[in-house]
Structure 1
Amino acid sequence: MATGTWREWTADDASEWLSAPSADDDKYRRGVLGVITGSPDFPGAAVLGVEAAHRTGVGMVRFTGPRAVRQAVLAARPETVGVPGRVQAWLLGSGMDTDHRSFLLAGDLQHALASGEPTVLDAGGLDLVGSHTAPTVITPHARELARLLNDRDIDATVEEVEADPAGWAARAAEELRVAVLLKGAVTHVCDPDGTRLTVTASTHWLASAGTGDVLGGIVGALAATHHERLATHATAITYLAATAAFVHSEAARRASEAWEGGPVTAMDVAHAIPPVIGRLLRGEARSPRP
């Protein structure tokens, strides 16, 4: 499957898509991320995504997901706003089951999409792709991408996607007309305009539950912070997604190093985001990989 030339996203690349707040910034200029994620069965997905978004430096996180999940989110991050209001980007679907949405939740998701703001669709929100025209990135793993494509009458097995992630990520971007971040040991980020980027994992301890929810929070936060740029350059979401994948990978490496190269949890990765961003903002070279 022809996919064009892929380029590895570097620390120098990522640093160009990060910004520290200036004296003129307030929480709205830094961006407000709206989050509708989690479910009674998977409340942790919402907690992890919100935690990661805060740690990435967004101005505000506004959680309007399921009421049963909101208490857990506010207990973990009390600075989160739990009522509807102004939003400049959305993170939708993490920790949700596509087949078990309440009427109210489905309405909330459609209302978010109708806002026209940049959107990150993950997990239980992937089937919503194509229902709006705002800058959008989807963040599936191989199984989720295969299911999504099959639902669109494009035959793809999990084994085929795993054997050729570059080809299938590129085809998904072309067919669905959105940016695609296909998670894996090598994450492939691409869009319909031909941008082809890879981020190679700096540690395989990322292969654990909840780390994808953390990644979603990072992408969403960066989209909210760059909402003004996305309003005029929709393709910027591809570079923001690649930057998020790079930060995610480096945070996992840093968290593992704190445990002598040992295993890490998703929350460990979220907590390691600020120093990674700090180093990138200072233009410091990334530490050698173990």
Structure 2
Amino acid sequence: MVGSWTVQDAARVLRRPTAADDKYSRGVLGVRTGSDAYPGAAVLGVEAAWRTGLGMVRYLGPSVPTSLVLQRCPETVTVDGRVQAWLIGSGTDASARTDADTDALRTVLSSPEPVVVDAGALDLAPDASAPIIVTPHAREHARLRSILGLAEVAPGADAERAASAVETAAALGGTVVLKGSVTIVAAANGWVTSVSAGTPWLATAGTGDVLAGAIGAVVAGAGAGAAGDLGRLAAAGVWLHGRAGALAAAEFGPAGGPLTASDVAAALPRAVAEALATR
């Protein structure tokens, strides 16, 4: 039986800022996401990171998404510098990646800082030396397992999904966030949990980009020692994303209603505050 992640679990992981903090001690997330074809992914991930709570977001990407990121979140820094964690891959396509893009991503994946690896960068994850969290949906998970030389897994119940995620995490040497209506989080040491804080209304374009930004922010905000507890940090980010989706949908009545990824990002501060209030 796989345990279920709770609001109390999330609260124990999240860090409340103190009077002694500054923007650097609260965590800095470096972001290499988005493309001219999918610029919105960069905007959504950056906004989600800010709204989850950290000291700074550094966005390093193409000119079109950079312009849109600054329009939406002018507090974003767009020059390189020190970070506590990275988010890469959202809104990118591995088949369209240039050699320069690949080199930049490989540099991030060989850094000492933890890296959240999403979407178009998942193919590079098996060669990473950095501590990593990968965030595949079912089809991406199947492709990642193929790269790792693992057997194909047929769609199954949550127990079977959890077992496959644990196997993938061990082969990868990183943390796997296997997305779904119930999301499985598995660490390389065999630790595993399930997160079901969300709503079916989350099945819409862009919510995965918001999820990646939320996880990146939690990891960056954890500071020193984050790499040793990536499973729990990832699970906290997943819970916040799911709860934010539920809060956004609930604006339309007890049964919920249609939401957009931007709605989910906007609800993240309420999810964070709700979790911290249980401490």
TM-score normalised over the length of structure 1: 0.91
Match of 2:259 in 1: 264
CA distance in 1, matches of 2:184, 2:102: 29
Report what 2:6 is aligned to.
Answer: 10
Q: Say if 2:148 and 2:172, in contact at 8 Å, map to a contact too.
A: no
* Equivalent position amino acid for 1:61 in 2: V
- The one-letter code of the counterpart of 1:257 is A
Is the contact between residue 187 and residue 201 of structure 1 (CA under 8 Å) also seen in structure 2?
A: no
Any stretches of 5+ residues in structure 2 without a counterpart? Answer: none
1:277 aligned residue (262, 272, 277): 272
Residue 248 of structure 1: which of 241, 247, 253 is its match? 241
* Residue 154, structure 1, aligned to residue 183, structure 2: no
User: Superposed, which structure 2 residues align to 1:89-100 within 5 Å?
Assistant: 89-100=85-96
Matched-pair contact (CA < 8 Å) for 1:62–1:81: yes
Q: Which runs of 4+ in 1 moved over 6 A?
A: none
Cα contact 1:206–1:252 (8 A) shared by 2? yes
d(CA) in 2 for partners of 1:202 and 1:77?
Answer: 26
Q: After TM superposition, list the pairs within 5 Å mapping 1:48-63 onto structure 2.
A: 48-63=44-59
The aligned counterpart of 1:287 is: none
Among 29, 33, 39, the residue aligned to 1:37: 33
Question: 1:20, 1:177 → 2: CA distance?
Answer: 30
1:172 aligns with 2:192: no
| Alpha-carbon separation, structure 2, partners of 1:114 and 1:229 | 18
CA deviation after TM superposition for structure 1 residue 223, in Å: 0.8
Distance 2:197 2:205 in 1: 16
Separation (CA, whole Å) in 1 of partners of 2:103 and 2:71: 26
1:36-185 matched pairs, under 5 angstroms = 36-156=32-152, 160-162=154-156, 164-185=160-181
Does residue 203 of structure 2 align to residue 210 of structure 1?
Answer: no
TM-score using structure 2 length: 0.95
**Equivalent pair of 1:116/1:132 in contact (CA under 8 Å):** no
> d(CA) in 2 for partners of 1:175 and 1:243?
23
Aligned residue pair count: 275
Q: Structure 1 residues 134, 227: closer, same or farther in 2, change over 3 A? A: farther
Mean CA deviation greater in 258-267 or 101-110: 101-110
AA partner of residue 259 (structure 2): V
Q: Secondary structure at the match of 2:36?
A: coil
Say which SS state the counterpart of residue 130 (structure 1) adopts. helix
Per-residue displacement from partner, 1:188-219 (whole Å, max 9, x unpaired)? 00112121100014311111110010000001
Select the residue among 186, 193, 199 that pairs with 2:189: 193
Shift of 1:279: 1.5
Provide, for residues 28-48 of structure 1, a one-character-per-residue CA deviation record: whole Å limited to 9, x for no partner. 001110000011111111100
Percent identical across equivalent pairs?
47
1:235 shift after superposition? 3.5
Cα distance in 2 between the residues matched to 1:121 and 1:26: 27
Distance in 1 of aligned mates of 2:205 and 2:182: 17
8 Å Cα contact 2:15-2:222 kept in structure 1: no
Distance 1:44 1:101, change over 3 A: same
Partner Cα distance (1:97, 1:23) in 2: 42
